[in-house]
Amino acid sequence: MHVLIVGAAGMIGRKFAGAIASSGLSGTGPVEQLTLVDAVTPETPAGFSGEATCLALDISDPLSAPKMLAGRPDVIVHLAAIVSGEAEQDFDKGYRVNLDGTRHLFDGVRQLSLTDGYCPRLVFASSIAVFGAPMPDAIDDEYLTAPMTSYGTQKAIGELLLQDYTRRGFFDGLAIRLPTICIRPGLPNKAASGFFSGILREPLSGKPAVLPVEDSVRHWHASPRAAVGFLTRAATMDLGPVGHRRVLTMPGLSATVAEQIEALRRIAGDKAVALIEPRPDPDIIRIVANWPRGFKAERATALGFRAESSFDEIIRIHIEDELGGSL
Amino acid sequence: MHVLIVGAAGMIGRKFAGAIASSGLSGTGPVEQLTLVDAVTPETPAGFSGEATCLALDISDPLSAPKMLAGRPDVIVHLAAIVSGEAEQDFDKGYRVNLDGTRHLFDGVRQLSLTDGYCPRLVFASSIAVFGAPMPDAIDDEYLTAPMTSYGTQKAIGELLLQDYTRRGFFDGLAIRLPTICIRPGLPNKAASGFFSGILREPLSGKPAVLPVEDSVRHWHASPRAAVGFLTRAATMDLGPVGHRRVLTMPGLSATVAEQIEALRRIAGDKAVALIEPRPDPDIIRIVANWPRGFKAERATALGFRAESSFDEIIRIHIEDELGGSL
């Protein structure tokens, strides 16, 4: 089994590669070969005993796809993207990487498919950013995509391309729409969604955090561990039962900021909660008002995808995976 | 007022240009200038008293957009496309014209917009081919796009791009999803949908026609005259009330083949109906089973778009517009 991860240096990419190094891809036998691609050279995950090829490539360059596909990977996981804020600031760069880069990858696979019948599993990380206001509180699996950012537009286009290329038989594709990942490890960043993680991660480490919105704000979350589980399942499951609609909204937890804070209080006490400073930010309030609050995710749930069912669980996963198991 | 029609040599393009030549664009003052573009040189519509520029251009060539936009048209109507069957047979050509060509046009406008604030009205002809089975009998305005052809995929991508470019302020866009146009004038063609027009058009001219499906098949129709009305309204209406979701499913008539045939009988008698020969075609039956049967089209109807309410009306329009007013 040979796995290619495009976007392997990002947070999810590193965790997914690490999971492969430690446990393989369940149900598919051992992973002997990893090809890891990102804009900067990705690191081979600790403990990986197979052959790893780490490449720094610009996916918007049409010559990159043949290089990353040279070893005919059995499974391709495409996570690479210019993130929402940057795709909004730099229109050309967002389209070049998120649309053209995705298309070059898909077309690279198609060329090999036309040459010799190559037909890998291809998992594309999409996003709930394909949805835009107005939306019901719980969006069903048949709701229209109406993105309100260029990033969301590019992800929605990737979903359409993936389904057409799959229908044509060029690869066996599945697009999964990831919830907002919480708790993101690492340093605070300037993403508009950063506070959802920050108000938990920082107090859990004894540091202050800013809350820029009302605590009644409701959003859709899953842990980094759940995201790795989604990718693993998407990479290995039988896609027959998915049918021809190859886009699945992943399950998650719909929770308000107040519910996040109460979970923090239960696990880390009033002292941790006191580190959260409410400081309303009109820009972030305006942006977040257009974000989804929840989903039904019935198809993905029926297909065995699982996320957390409480914020207590999400916080405990962070403590286990990032803080050595205890506060 | 300067109007650019891309795809001006097609059936709808010629009718729309003809309507401009005879009546202008209602509510916007006279049209002094027409730029007509197609893969073959379009003809200036009879009776047009303004300045017409007719260009044969390949829209998939990035150099074409600056040429067609040189005169800074106030209104751009983009009808050009490789049709469904051909886009399915020639994957590269379909993507090159329907996706890249559309993007080149949008980017050409964007470049001018960035240079000098140019911001034309841009109407994009989309299609009910963006939908795919399974579907409810009456699809609402919030139903997902799930195309089952490359053509439908390319149209859905065009809709997404149009909305993002509009949101960014590069142009003032509206995508309208046209019903199947019935009765298409001209010769029978090999499109899978051709019989919907053929079973009326041919008997109305005393010629035989083949019906390849059961007469219980239900589909979504509007006349060529209604299509010209949709384009005219989209080109001239105030888009404020449309809001940020700039894709509208046009109204139409949901009718079964049996209802089409009964309208033919009322207008042209049993003799005309007797010219229809049922000859089931398994390929066409299979394709048509995945097509939409009807829509609610509530948003477009509330915004003043109008189609026919009976097949009698659709047949009478054909007799008026194509057969000189009588049988």
Whether A27 shows a pLDDT value over 90: the answer reads no
- Whether residue B214 sits in one domain with residue B99: no
Task: Determine the pLDDT at residue B63.
Answer: 98
Give the model's confidence band at B221: pLDDT under 50 very low, under 70 low, under 90 confident, else very high: very high
Q: Is residue B31 part of a domain?
A: yes
Residues A126 and A204 in one domain: no
Number of domains in chain A: 2
Q: Which pLDDT band, with edges at 50, 70 and 90, does A72 fall under?
A: very high
Cα A119 from chain centroid? 23
pLDDT at B200 over 80: yes
A245 near B CB under 8 A: yes
Give the residue from A180, A226, A225 showing the smallest Cα distance to A199. Answer: A180
Residue-by-residue DSSP string for A43-105:
PPPTT--SEEEEEE--TTSTTHHHHHHTT--SEEEE-----HHHHHH-HHHHIIIIIIIHHHH
The residue-averaged pLDDT of A79-96 equals 95
Shared domain for A142 and A199, answered yes or no, is no
Residues A21 and A119 in one domain: yes
| Contact yes or no for B2/B31 (Cβ under 8 A) | yes
Mean pLDDT of B112-134: 97
Residue at B187 is within a domain: no
pLDDT in tens, B237-288: 999 999 999 999 999 999 999 999 999 999 999 999 999 999 999 999 998 9
User: What is the reported pLDDT for A187?
Assistant: 87
The CA angle B149-B151-B154, to the nearest 5 degrees, is: 115
A166 falls within a domain: yes
Instruction: Report the residue count for chain B.
Output: 327
Q: Looking at B95, B118, B143, B151, which residue is catalytic?
A: B151
pLDDT at residue B29 greater than cutoff 80? no
A26 pLDDT more than 80:
no
Residues B105 and B243 reside in one and the same domain: yes
What is the rounded CA–CA span in Å between residue B65 and residue B71? 11
Same domain (yes/no): B8, B138: yes
Confidence of residue B192 (pLDDT cuts 50, 70, 90): confident
In a domain, A266, yes or no: yes
Residues B112 and B10 in one domain: yes
Q: Are residues B140 and B23 in the same domain?
A: yes
Sorted by sequence, the CB contacts under 8 Å of residue B114 that are 6+ apart come out as B170
Residues A64 and A9 in one domain: yes
Is the pLDDT assigned to residue B193 strictly greater than 80? Answer: yes
Looking at the structure, tell me whether residues B110 and B204 fall in a common domain: no
In a domain, B184, yes or no: no
- For residue B40, give the CATH number of its domain: 3.40.50.720
Q: Is residue A299 part of a domain?
A: no
In a domain, A187, yes or no: no
Range of the domain at B261: 194-220+253-293+308-322
Are B142 and B160 in the same domain?
yes
Can you read off the two tokens belonging to residue A48? 């990986």
Q: What is the pLDDT of residue B73?
A: 98
Please, what is the average pLDDT of chain B?
Answer: 96
What pLDDT band is residue A97 in, cutting at 50, 70 and 90? very high
- Based on the domain organization, do A214 and A121 belong to the same domain? no
CB nearest A143 (choices: B144, B156, B160): B144
Answer yes or no: is A240 within a domain. yes
pLDDT of residue B325 exceeding 90, the answer is yes
* Across A30-34, B98-102, B172-176, B186-190, least confident range: B186-190
| A143 close to B (CB below 8 A) | yes
What is the model's pLDDT at position A308?
A: 98
Q: d(Cα A105, Cα A66) in Å, to the nearest integer?
A: 8
Residue B164: name the closest of A92, A59, A248 by CA: A92
pLDDT exceeds cutoff 80 at B27: no
Instruction: Give how far B177 is from chain A: nearest CA, Å.
Output: 15
CATH number for position B200: 3.90.25.10
What ipTM is given for this predicted complex? 0.97
- Answer whether A140 touches B (CB < 8 Å): no
